[in-house]
């Protein structure tokens, strides 16, 4: 099958985007799917969590990163392919005696500077914002075509807000997942963000998302404000013209999740890494996700 592309995005930071990308990538791989993670956040947290410090440093030194690829394709000699920057078999976690089939197109802290430089260079060349997004979308779409034949899912970890690269991710995505904490500050502006993602069409050539964004409640605690806010989100998702849909699965605030993200070599198996509370929830999320995207179970 052609890989389904999932962009994980939110205007706010600290709501669980990277945790969602890493845990979902490993849950999908544990279910038998081949997964590519593309890190579009200059914090490079998904890259560190999956590759570890030393491996990521090596990839950065070789410029085998998303900004290295885009610099070559848009401002360089156009000699690199996406495959030159993808690190296959990145996971050191196993499930049922098999290593998880996860590949990584990493980011680095240089991504933010590169994106600013790219926009400056292209605007100096009289390109509009729409033209820049269109050009980036064309490059990524063309080079992802081969990857889509190799993988079952492509997960994109987007930076907070809507940057040019986040906009590209939204255009390419079959589904947008919006992780959020069920409290007032985290959900303030959520509806407007989802409407913006669903309606942004800078030109007729840019594809609009075919599905509404799906909100995933993360870092859920058993407290009154989280229960009330979660109920409000689910109520808003049932409106006549909702800005978003919601997953039934909720990811709790758990020490095991922080440990799983912070210890890249500590846990040999998927079940040990995510623990007895989170693993069944990730399985439920995979079930929901494959149903939303109409994907056959691996």
Model pLDDT for residues 115-139, shown as the tens digit of each residue? 999 899 889 988 888 888 888 999 9
List the single range of 138-147, 161-170, 196-205, 242-251 with lowest mean pLDDT: 196-205
* pLDDT tens digits, 21-57: 999 999 999 999 999 999 999 999 999 999 988 999 9
Rounded mean pLDDT, 69-94 = 90
Q: Strands, DSSP E only, in the chain?
A: 4-8, 35-40, 94-95, 98-99, 102-105, 153-158, 175-181, 214-220, 245-252
- Residue 128 C-beta-side C-alpha neighbours within 13 Å: 5
Please tell me the predicted confidence (pLDDT) of residue 202.
Answer: 41
* pLDDT tens digits, 212-270: 899 999 999 999 999 999 999 999 999 888 999 999 999 999 988 988 888 766 678 99
Full-model pTM? 0.94
Question: DSSP characters for 245-270?
Answer: EEEEEEEEP-HHHHHHHH-TTT-SBH
Domain ranges across the chain: 4-287
Cα 4 from Cα 151, distance rounded (Å): 9
% of the chain exceeding 70 in pLDDT: 94
pLDDT level of residue 177 (50, 70, 90 thresholds): very high
% of the chain exceeding 90 in pLDDT: 69
- What is the rounded average pLDDT for all residues in the chain? 90
Cα 60 from Cα 39, distance rounded (Å): 13
Please tell me the predicted confidence (pLDDT) of residue 218.
Answer: 96
Please tell me the predicted confidence (pLDDT) of residue 77.
Answer: 82
Per CATH, the number for 4-287 is 3.40.50.300
Please tell me the predicted confidence (pLDDT) of residue 208.
Answer: 59
Cα–Cα–Cα angle for 281, 160, 255, rounded to 5 degrees = 35
Angle between helices 255-262 and 17-30 (to 10 degrees): 80
């Amino acid at each position: 099958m052609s890989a389904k592309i999932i962009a994980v995005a939110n205007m706010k930071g600290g709501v669980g985007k990277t945790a969602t990308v890493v845990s979902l990538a490993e849950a999908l791989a544990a279910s038998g799917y081949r997964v590519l993670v593309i890190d579009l956040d200059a914090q490079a947290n998904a890259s560190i969590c999956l590759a570890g410090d030393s491996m990521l440093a090596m990839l950065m030194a070789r410029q085998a990163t998303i900004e290295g690829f885009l610099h070559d394709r848009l401002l360089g000699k156009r000699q690199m392919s996406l495959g030159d920057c993808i690190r296959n078999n990145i996971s050191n976690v196993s499930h049922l005696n098999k290593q998880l089939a996860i590949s990584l197109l990493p980011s680095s802290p240089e991504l933010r500077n590169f994106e600013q430089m790219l926009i400056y260079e292209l605007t100096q060349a009289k390109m509009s914002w729409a033209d820049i997004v269109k050009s980036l979308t064309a490059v990524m779409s063309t080079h992802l075509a081969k990857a889509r034949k190799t993988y079952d899912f492509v997960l994109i970890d987007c930076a907070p807000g809507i940057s040019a690269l986040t906009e590209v991710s939204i255009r390419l995505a079959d589904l947008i997942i919006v992780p959020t904490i069920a409290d007032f500050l985290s959900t303030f502006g959520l509806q407007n963000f989802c409407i913006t993602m669903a309606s942004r069409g800078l030109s007729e050539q840019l594809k609009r998302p075919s599905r509404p964004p799906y909100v995933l409640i993360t870092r859920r605690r058993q407290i009154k404000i989280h229960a009330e806010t979660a109920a409000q989100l689910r109520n808003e998702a049932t409106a006549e013209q909702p800005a978003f849909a919601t997953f039934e699965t909720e990811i709790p605030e758990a020490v095991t999740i922080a440990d799983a993200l912070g210890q890249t070599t500590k846990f040999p198996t998927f079940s040990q890494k995510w623990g007895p509370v989170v693993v069944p929830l990730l399985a439920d999320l995979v079930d929901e996700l494959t149903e939303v995207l109409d994907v056959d179970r691996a």
